[in-house]
Amino acid sequence: MLIKQSKNSYIRCTNRYGYIVNQLTKHDRVYNDVGANFLSKIKRYPQEIEEIVKSLAEEYEGISYEELMKDFIDFVVDLEGTKFVITGNTVEEINEKDENFTYAIDKPKTLEIDFTQHTDKAISQNTQDFFREEVQGHPLIKNLQFELSSRCNERCIHCYIPNSKKNVGIDMPLNKFKEIIDEYSSMGGISVALSGGEVFLHKNMIEILRYCRKKDLKITILTNLTILTDEHIKVLKEVDVSFIQTSLYSMKSEIHDSITTVKGSFYKTKNSIERLVANDIPVQISCPTMKANYRDYKDVLLYAQSLKIKAQTDFIIMARADLDKENLANRLTLEETEYLLRDIMKYDPKYRDMSLYLRPRSDEILLNYDNFVNEPLCGVGYDNCCITANGDVYPCAGWQNYVLGNVYRQSLRDIWENSEKIKYLRKITQASFPQCLKCEAFQYCSRCLVRNYNESNGDMFNIPKHFCDVAFLNKRIREEYEKTVINQMSNNE
């Protein structure tokens, strides 16, 4: 019997744990040291299971070959059930079973919203929580976002990147990119998010994509899709990109173009989305809602649905990375936000259902309050960071003004492990916002350091009132809905 790693899964192992993630199902798992060793034997090419078990038998004492074979088979069967690995009697059979992403199924991942992993193994710990505990003292960087080019061919009115930066036009040199990727891989990195500016303006984009594939990295691309060529599509297919995310603001070209401030951009982006779908390349739409388009977002959602892709809306606009707040003039007022939220509740049954079945974390928090207050606020400084085209390393998207170091002067590892600023961020916990812990709308709010920083003249602890108001609004609308449902149920009885 032969085994190989699915083309959609990525494996990283240390001597303490083994991690596997599947970009198609979005499932992931963490195993102990022996599981890590089992995982590390599974490669992207088919191998005889017997040969793997023989090699394991040479490493361990106190276990027979037969017992080891049984354990390995159990391990593999469980992994194969959720498509992390593939087995078969021949190379042809294995390759045939190795799935490519396709829209030609009822619910491709681009449409799916439930990525819950069902296994018969009783396990209660979430991967994110595992890594939070595991990485205390030695954080593992899992995702690196590159601003490959500061150039952009659009000037979106709400964008957090200052236009002055887009005008300067710096591209990260290919050699420097490769050097950073080599180091990132050696640090155990798994995913890269290629962004800009507009990434496809980078003249080496094709080599960059192929290099990421060579280094076995999961690739996500953030792009406006206005300059996508047929050659790009061919290479995107070849490197098996995990996701492409693009922004479509309205199905009315004049509204979309008024947000990007580039005439004709709507048709270019829409056309590229459809070409990607026709080529079975996973794409999803983000539809940030602001004054210009908050009455039009539904058409974008319907359009996305017709293509079997998701369109995510969000009404939280973040101030610019250089602390300029001019772009916030496009943000919805509280009244407009209420209109939008009520509209979403009315229009989207999935959102309505979600607001009922997704329970807030309150019970979990009350049960283990001491643990909760010591939890980090988010993943910042723990599992991801970003790099600008000029080599500045910063903690997360939008926080370009909070520079941790520069890869032209230091190694990425040095910055990640020793930057005083990142060490400071790692000390920030839920308890750093004591007023929030007591707040009635706590469960309806996401505290975000970058949003605070950019909008509060560089104070990451100052929460702009708008975000608190929106949290209370969310709470009110959800509670009203819950009451309506309860009344309906009692009337039916």
Partner 1 sequence: MKKYAKPQLLAKNLPTGSYAAGCGMYADGHGCKEDCKRCEGAR
90 or 117: whose CB is closer to partner 1?
117
71 or 417: whose CB is closer to partner 1?
71
175 or 322: whose CB is closer to partner 1?
322
Closest CA to 53 of 71, 73, 69: 69
6 or 313: whose CB is closer to partner 1?
313
The strand pair at 85-88 and 143-149 is best described as unpaired
CB of 67 to partner 1, least distance (A): 9
- CA separation for the pair 374, 449 (Å, rounded): 16
Specify whether the CB–CB gap between 414 and 400 falls below 8 A.
no
For every residue of 299-336, DSSP letters joined together read: HHHHHHHHTT--EEEE--PPPPTTS--GGGGGS--HHH
The strand pair at 384-387 and 143-149 is best described as parallel
**Which residues 6+ apart lie within 8 Å of 460 measured at CB?**
428, 449, 450, 452, 453
149 or 492: whose CB is closer to partner 1?
149
410 or 456: whose CB is closer to partner 1?
456
Helix (H/G/I), strand (E/B), else coil: 28: strand
102 or 126: whose CB is closer to partner 1?
126
61 or 420: whose CB is closer to partner 1?
61
CB of 69 to partner 1, least distance (A): 13
Q: Reading across the β-sheet that carries 243-247, which strands appear in turn?
A: 311-314, 283-288, 243-247, 218-222, 191-196, 143-149, 384-387, 392-394, 405-406
Q: What is the CA radius of gyration of the chain?
A: 24
Specify whether the CB–CB gap between 287 and 301 falls below 8 A.
yes
- CA separation for the pair 303, 289 (Å, rounded): 16
Write out the H or E segment, with its range, that includes residue 47: strand 47-48
CB of 187 to partner 1, least distance (A): 16
160 or 177: whose CB is closer to partner 1?
160
- CA separation for the pair 91, 14 (Å, rounded): 29
Q: Which residue has the tokens 């959800």?
A: 478
11 or 448: whose CB is closer to partner 1?
448
What distances in angstroms separate CA 137 from CA 19, 132, 429, one per listed residue? Answer: 19, 10, 15
CB of 104 to partner 1, least distance (A): 21
The two tokens of residue 255 are 């509204």
121 or 138: whose CB is closer to partner 1?
121
Q: 275-289: buried (b, 16+ CB within 10 Å) or exposed (e) per residue?
A: bbbeeebbbbbbbbb
**Amino acid (one-letter) located at 260:** T
410 or 481: whose CB is closer to partner 1?
481
Alpha helices in 174-286 (DSSP H): 174-186, 205-214, 230-238, 253-260, 265-278
**Which residues 6+ apart lie within 8 Å of 153 measured at CB?**
198, 201, 224, 226, 227, 262
Q: 47-76: buried (b, 16+ CB within 10 Å) or exposed (e) per residue?
A: eebeebbeebbeeeeeeeeeebbebbeebb
